[in-house]
Amino acid sequence: MKVKVLVTPKAAVLDPQGAAVRDAMQHLGMPEVESVRIGKYLEIEVGAGSADVESRLHGLCRDLLSNPVIEDYEIQPTNL
């Protein structure tokens, strides 16, 4: 199955990369852009496995794929 994982900066955390992109977009023809937040997007192809794939994936999202101090993650299974 294919799993999509979104890792986004928490709302309370400053996102200077997003602020830079927002300013660039405002100067390049889209002054109506109000805010931009930038995260990571992962497409993970998982082969047939045992039943606890999802809990192990949550563990790896916490430990490897995101920094839980400043980031949230969201798992979207697309083809269970």
Q: Which residues here bind its own copies, judged by CB under 8 A?
A: 6-8, 18, 21, 24-25, 28-30, 32-49, 53, 56-57, 59-60, 63-65
Is 43 or 69 the residue whose CB approaches its own copies more closely?
A: 43
What's the min distance (Å) between Cβ of 55 and its own copies? 10
- C-alpha distances (whole Å) from 67 to each of 6, 7, 35, 48 are 12, 9, 22, 28
Angle 31-21-63 from CA coordinates, rounded to 5°: 140
Biggest alpha carbon–alpha carbon distance for the chain? 51
Give the nearest distance from C-beta 70 to its own copies in angstroms: 15
Smallest gap from Cβ 77 to its own copies, in A, equals 14
In single-letter form, the type of residue at position 4 comes to: K
